[in-house]
Amino acid sequence: MVSKVEMNRTKHSPVFAWFTSVALMACICAGTLLGHTVHAQSQHGQVQRARIDGENDATSLTNLDAQQADKLSPDLRDQISDSSAPRDFSAQALTTGVVRVIVQLNQTASGRLNGFLHSHAVEKGRFVNFNSIAIDIPQSDIQMLANFPEVRYISVNRDVQLNGHIETTTGAQAMRQEFANGGLDGSGIGIAILDSGIYTQHLAFTNTGNGGSRIVANVDFTGEGNTSSDPFGHGTHVAGLIGCNGNGTGVPSAYEGIAPNANLINLRVLNSQGVGNTSMLMSALDWIMNNRAAYNIRVVNMSLGGLAIDSYKNDPACRAVRSLVDAGIVVVAAAGNNGKNSAGQKVYGSIHSPGNEPSAITVGAVNTYATDIRSDDTIATYSSRGPTRSFWTDTQGLKHYDNLMKPDVVAPGNKLVSAESVGNLLVTTNPQLDATKTAVQQKDMMFLSGTSMATPIVAGAAALLLQANPSLTPNMVKALLMYTAQPLAGFNMLEQGAGELNIEGAVRLAKAVRTDLNNSTPLGTPMLTTGAAPVPQSTIATQTFNWGQGIITNYTYVTGSSLITLYQRVYGTGMLLGDGILLSNGILLSDGILLSNSVFVGDSILLSSGMLLGDGSPVLSCGILLGDGILLSDGILLSDGILLSDGILLSNGMLLGDTIAQSNGATVGGEPGDTIEIVEP
């Protein structure tokens, strides 16, 4: 049954209509190809396509193989097809002509393929849960490998590097005051932290109950064999934002983390220089899948990422993330720190991988200006903006961009104070990062800024929701965090997603959700134990604000109280929140099968008024994002005058209004390794 169509109608200016017409007439479209290096998300120096005719995402992932001509990632294809190309991939080449790659299989390898690998390649890792392997192979043998029918996709084993008062401003303190007898502190929840390691002797990670450590597992995937320290310093800071316990541990209580009694699983995927690669990340994700029950791993934090190239449908890290989410694990990923170029101008379309995966909770950064009140909060200038620009290539050689609306939410990420690892590289080379110095090194704290710092704030919040209601699925957690978020005035959805994290509201709502909901629950079943929806307002630091009351769903957004009062099928496992949207004659509709009637579907990306998610000035039609390679910025129409016309390519190859983006594969927004900055308010 198809539901009644309910949409937010908006009027567009003549300027908007003109630019939209130009965009739709531009048949040859190209997006900025961001660089090839994966790096963690601390700031330095300065969509999936909608469901069509009832087709869900799992189906589109399967059908992609029939449409896709090229089994090689774009950077790998460039290497083997261009003899003049450099002979390495940002330190990926072992020797001349030998490359590190991740091979994804679509079925069990035959004896013939195993024989080929044995004689032509060196296996470096096998990821059983994701049917993938990491190998070193001569460049000249890549195409022969791709010809095997069992091989689904081959991508470069890219580098992975780091991307950097929270109790009060996030609403955690308000939540604890409201639920004083609830003991919501992350107890019993396992949070896996994939990073540069954790300094295990820091007193921030002490269990106040028995004096032991809350770091319950330490595994090194870098090959350095280090499981007890953090020579780079990023991972310890991230872990402290999640789980720093200042209650009687000797660490100032002002620096308490969001989930101060959660169990931490230390998975080291970045080495002493803050660098790793995709196979290290895949190994850690594979380990999580195998050990999730033993450590009750409900949340994964990845304050790292890389400039997204492959579509999330092919990216091995994204596909691994999807497997974890389908298994019931909340995965939180940094958006990236490429929100501005070297001239300080806004850049759109720079979301990192695996933050470009639709099932992940992708987090951008807020600058709170060191105040608890939210009235002065802004999106940090460096925080990466959507839409996602990863792509796949069809049999005609045309690129199809994912164009997902990201990030999903934003959280404080600027100049945050957290645990410091003894003698770490970041502080050694940047002494100004020191926040406190005591006679006891195990108490020291440091500053960092970046979406890396915002990400663990959201991961800690997810742990609190799961402690409050262990039956929540990852999609429910994501939906509740977005529904209760506060839209920040003056920023659009490609900058802030659903808005700024509101832990008080999200926990209050999570506690009201029934615990007997599952994939068999009929659409429209009452969702709350309270019957009526709670008051959609929160008060943080004496300021009362409305919840956004909406959810970002890949290409658009949906609003309405039915999102929390009636069970939505998209909240189940094995689905995406965007599966409830279909495309009909260019109009976005709720299909009435996975999303109930009375859910409103937005048709424009908005410049927020600071009220509800669906309020504000339209800056871009959601339908524009559906077109491959077509992207217009809000600056062209209403806002700040910044142009990003990377998707409007005229037939002579000239870009229209190209004042920020660079075409032909040029990198935008910083150099690899540009990772840490103290951003002054």
**The token pair that represents 459 in the structure block:** 């991961």
36, 202, 234, 400: the catalytic one is 234
Specify the pLDDT at position 371: 80
> Residue for token digits 């689904």?
152
Highest mean pLDDT among 263-277, 584-598, 645-659: 263-277
* Res. 297: pLDDT tops 80: yes
CA–CA separation, 35 vs 245, rounded Å?
A: 38
Is residue 659 a part of any domain in this protein?
A: no
Whether 195 is a known active-site residue: answer yes
One domain, residues 327 and 246: yes
- Give the burial string for 134-146 (b: 16+ CB within 10 Å, else e): bbbbebebbeebb
CA–CA separation, 528 vs 434, rounded Å?
A: 46
One domain, residues 224 and 118: no
398-445 pLDDT, tens digit per residue, is 888 999 999 999 999 988 989 999 999 999 998 988 887 777 788 898
Specify the pLDDT at position 168: 52
One domain, residues 184 and 140: no
One domain, residues 109 and 238: no
Average pLDDT over residues 615-644: 58
Is residue 634 a part of any domain in this protein?
A: no
How many other C-beta atoms are found inside a 10 Å radius of the C-beta of residue 277? Answer: 29
How many residues can be counted in the chain? Answer: 681
* Res. 134: pLDDT tops 90: yes
323, 390, 452, 590: the catalytic one is 452
H/E stretch holding 557 reads strand 556-559
Name the E strands within 327-377.
330-334, 352-353, 361-367
Domain stops at, among 471, 499, 517? 471
Is residue 271 a part of any domain in this protein?
A: yes
* Res. 261: pLDDT tops 80: yes
Give the chain's domain count: 2
> Residue for token digits 């994701």?
130
Whether 42 is a known active-site residue: answer no
One domain, residues 450 and 392: yes
Is 652 buried (19+), middle (13-18) or exposed (0-12) by CB count in 10 A?
exposed
Is residue 299 a part of any domain in this protein?
A: yes
Specify the pLDDT at position 282: 96
One domain, residues 145 and 192: no
One domain, residues 209 and 350: yes
> Residue for token digits 């290290």?
280
**The token pair that represents 396 in the structure block:** 């005609």
CATH number of residue 99's parent domain:
3.30.70.80
Is residue 465 a part of any domain in this protein?
A: yes
Specify the pLDDT at position 162: 57
Is residue 327 a part of any domain in this protein?
A: yes
**The token pair that represents 338 in the structure block:** 């490429």
One domain, residues 460 and 343: yes
One domain, residues 125 and 246: no
What's the mean pLDDT when you consider all of the chain?
Answer: 79
320-331 pLDDT, tens digit per residue, is 999 999 999 999
Whether 202 is a known active-site residue: answer no
Residue 648 backbone phi and psi in degrees, to 5: -100, 100
Is residue 495 a part of any domain in this protein?
A: no
Specify the pLDDT at position 586: 67
Identify the bridge partners of residue 207 per DSSP, sorted by sequence position: none
One domain, residues 310 and 411: yes
Is residue 84 a part of any domain in this protein?
A: no
Classify residue 644 by its DSSP letter: -
CA–CA separation, 40 vs 26, rounded Å?
A: 35
One domain, residues 380 and 249: yes
One domain, residues 308 and 411: yes
CA–CA separation, 348 vs 351, rounded Å?
A: 8
Query: Predicted confidence band at 668 (pLDDT cuts at 50, 70, 90)?
Result: very low
185, 195, 444, 628: the catalytic one is 195
3-state DSSP assignment of residue 77: helix
CATH number of residue 258's parent domain:
3.40.50.200
Provide the residue range defining the domain that includes 144: 93-157
Specify the pLDDT at position 174: 55
Please, are residues 512 and 519 in contact by the beta-carbon 8 Å criterion? no
